[in-house]
Amino acid sequence: MDELLLQKQTTLYGAPLKKIKRAILTPVNAIYAAFPPLENETRGWYRTGYITNDIVIVKCNIGTSAGDAAYYLPDDLERLILVGWCGGYGKDLKPGDYLSALAGFRRGHDPIYATHVPNIGYSGNIYQVESLAEEDGLIEGIRPEINIAAIDMETHSVLAWAVQKSRQAGAIYLVTDHLFNYPFYLPGSFDHAGATKQLVRYAMEEILR
């Protein structure tokens, strides 16, 4: 067996990589758990469950290492969709809204444009921070002309994988709070569990499309 394929096979213990055609990637436990019970779930560095025989959902880590999880998927993957929660930054967004990524931005890196943009809710640019502490300098650090809609910790890293592999990839989010518009988040201001279930339905529609 090819050494690289063997390394990937070990990382996603038991996943038949040659059969995987599409994948959903999420760092959020609640999103992974919201999918229907999976008959065949592998264990390894990244939990991997089967949506169909050739479509999987992978639970990645929070932050830049989400791109590492994408790396362990097949190089000929047809489509990858990152699904998660984000913090609103643009004035038009509010908690409970849905957002599709147009491009991923990251300090010190060139922007990377999504090659698949689902038609749900809003669409806009996502700025990836390295840690929550970095948010303190966002007001001064982000140039107004790049028109950032939301903040996350994974989009740029996952889209970088897509560019490297020449694969189709996109990202969809539920806006769970807002960095600047007061009130930032009020418990009960929207149905968080219901909105997450709807996000899962959007993800399913896009990965099966």
pLDDT at residue 138, rounded to an integer: 56
Q: Indicate the pairing of strand 55-59 with strand 122-128.
A: unpaired
Residue 48 has pLDDT above 60, yes or no: yes
DSSP label of 13 = T
Tell which residue, 100, 85, 33, 69, has the closest CA to residue 162: 69
The 8 Å CB, 24+ separation contacts for 49-53 are: 51/24, 51/204, 51/207, 52/208, 53/19
Residue 11 has pLDDT above 60, yes or no: no
User: Considering the entire predicted model, what is its pTM?
Assistant: 0.86
Backbone φ and ψ of 141, nearest 5° = -90, -20
Look up the domain containing 26 and give its range. Answer: 3-208
pLDDT at residue 132, rounded to an integer: 58
* CATH code of the domain containing 20: 3.40.50.1580
In total, how many domains does the chain have?
1
pLDDT at residue 202, rounded to an integer: 94
Q: What is the SS3 assignment for 106?
A: strand
